[in-house]
Chains A and B, each alone.
Chain A
Amino acid sequence: MPEFYQYLFSGLTNGAIYAIIALGFSMLFAATDLINFAHGEFVMIGALILVTLWPVMGLPLPLAFVITVLATGILGIVFERLAIRTVKKPDPIVLVIITVGAGIFLRGVAMIIWGKTAKGAPPFSKMPPLEIGGAYLLAQSVWILGIVLATVLVMHFFYSRTLTGKAMSACAINKRAASLLGIATQRMTLLAFAVSAALGGMAGVIIAPITMNEYEMGAILGLKGFCAAMLGGLGNSWGAVVGGFALGIAEAMAVGYVSSSMKDAVAFLLLLLILYVRPTGILGGKAIARF
């Protein structure tokens, strides 16, 4: 039984990260019908900015955290302004390919700024691991789960309690009707990009201490997040959370009980399976429910 718990903890930790990346994919898709394949690069940039600000420059962690999230959010705004809004004929397929290109560009810029060597970061706190049922839960995992949970709650509050959140949902449901009510739909798109990129940056921050941070880390994280979003139902925020944890746990179990070479295969096997059995995802796609 201890090893089951161990796999479960590892799955929950990874799942939380996938969940928050998937949330970024999903909320942007809901608001703009766009899959941002550069999303993983925001995770990478978030991790590298944190590594620079905190262990290297010595800023206090909370401050570095906030600056990183804000910086990636602003990068999301710049991305929308320069690469998305300037497109004359915004067909979805054109925009998706632009995001792929932007991802490659961001990776290149990151390589120039931070170089090719991987950097590490210490855990957020120096507490010893917790022992539960014979298995060990890292303090960083507790941080990750806590931060992801808090973020999900904040997002839920934003969508269900604030006027801006509701206006954003309205834009996602029907842009035309929303603009007839005086909602500035372009500004809502911009806001969606900013929040989505900031979520990516936050994923980078919390993952930095448990991985090697280098310019290429974004691609696979982005794909995993995308799988999780599809798994839960693209455009459905709760679906992104469910999909993220399902993917993380399935991956950890496959690694533990089958073979560690299965790790990346699991995500794509699950994706194929879900597309085959239930193409709208576990909780259903965009139209059915959101936060």
Chain B
Amino acid sequence: MLTIRNLKCWYGGIEALSGVTLSVGQGELVALIGANGSGKSTLLQAVCGLLPGWKGEISFEKVPLNKKKPQDIVAGGICMVPEGRLVFGPLSVLDNLKLGAYLRYRKRDHYGIKKDLDKIFSLFPILAQRSGQHAGTLSGGEQQMLSIGRALMARPKLLLLDEPSMGLAPLVARLIFDTLAELREDGLTILIVEQNARAALMIADRGYVLETGRMVLAGKAKELLADEEIKRAYLGKDYARFTEGRA
């Protein structure tokens, strides 16, 4: 569905991605893991059209995305839940969700929007309770739910998530991951970028590991979870032994 070949990106002269290849198939949940600064978010931004000037190939449903504007990419069916949630704080929760369906309102799909709104409210009941409140008054976890709900309101074919568990309490993060697994069961294709590698790989079908702009590992999520190298570098398997000596 999404195919990325030999993608190179630059951030003001610095090469952030040096030839990355990745694919996401219809109905898959793919996790992209890696440390800070490995280029995970850069990759998502390139897909969304927020980072012009990349080289290589990105195509979605066989249509190349070169030089497309963000709004055309959204119209094509790719929606991103950005890092740091970026909800519109001074607007109400309901308005945030409605703006998610902005392009569908332009197409006068009022009936479909109403139905999807109910679906979001049953997915995240807390949003229904707070629908009149300013989004800025929500807690971090609620804002993350709102950000995901807002992206879903566009009825995407492919949902991209940039660090959805960042800064959330473990319980809330788990709720978010459970929801993603649920959405996948309903047939949504998802690409998730995460630092919390274990949580992401637990719900993913396949995973990729990015290190300083290069793809160093790829495979089934289960195999990656068992991989010694990944355990050491990303899953914190040795953490207990590491701290024992110091206590």
- Interface, chain A (partner B; CB < 8 A): 163, 166-167, 169-170, 173-174, 176-184, 287-290
Contact = CB atoms under 8 A, between A and B. Distances in A.
Interface in B69-101: 69-71, 74-75, 79-80, 82, 86-91, 95, 98-100
Nearest to B75: A182
Interface residues of B, number: 26
B99 A166 contact: yes
B48 interface: yes
A173 B88 contact: yes
Given A166-B98, A166-B99, A170-B99, A181 B90 contact: no
B149 to A, nearest CB: 12
B102 A181 contact: yes
A182 B74 contact: yes
A179 B71 contact: yes
Contacts of A170: 88, 91, 99
Interface in B142-191: 150-151, 154
B78 to A, nearest CB: 10
A174 B150 CA distance: 14
A176 B87 CA distance: 11
Contacts of B100: 181
Contact of B74 (A176, A180, A290): A180
Contact of B88 (A163, A177, A184): A177
A166 B79 contact: no
B99 A181 contact: yes
5 contacts: A163-B99, A166-B99, A169-B88, A181-B99, A184-B69
A121 to B, nearest CB: 40
List of 9 A-B pairs having minimum Cβ-Cβ separation, nearest first: A182-B74, A177-B86, A179-B70, A182-B103, A182-B71, A173-B88, A184-B71, A170-B88, A180-B80
A117 B243 CA distance: 85
Interface in B91-117: 91, 95, 98-100, 102-103, 105
A176 B98 contact: no
Contacts of B98: 163, 166
B50 interface: yes
Contacts of B74: 180-182
Nearest to B136: A287
B90 A289 contact: yes
Given A166-B98, A166-B99, A176 B50 contact: yes
A180 B75 CA distance: 10
Contacts of A288: 90
A180 B90 contact: no
A153 to B, nearest CB: 20
A184 B99 CA distance: 12
Contacts of A179: 50, 70-71
Contacts of B79: 180-181
A287 B70 CA distance: 25
Given A181-B100, A181-B151, A183-B102, 14 more contacts: A166-B99, A167-B99, A170-B91, A173-B88, A176-B82, A180-B50, A180-B74, A180-B79, A181-B74, A181-B99, A182-B102, A182-B103, A288-B90, A289-B90
A176 B86 CA distance: 9
B70 A182 contact: yes
A169 B91 contact: yes
A132 B89 CA distance: 45
Contacts of B69: 184
B90 A173 contact: yes
A129 B116 CA distance: 57
Contacts of B50: 176, 179-180
Interface string B39-71: 000000000101000000000000000000111
Contacts of A180: 48, 50, 70, 74, 79-80, 82, 86, 151
Nearest to A286: B90
A189 to B, nearest CB: 13
Given A177-B86, A179-B70, A181-B100, A166 B154 contact: no
A173 B89 contact: yes
Nearest to A186: B69
B86 A169 contact: no
B133 to A, nearest CB: 15
Nearest to B150: A181
A183 B70 CA distance: 8
A177 B69 CA distance: 14
Contacts of B48: 180
B71 A174 contact: no
A169 B96 CA distance: 11
Contacts of B71: 179, 182-184
Contacts of A184: 69, 71
A20 B112 CA distance: 39
B236 to A, nearest CB: 32
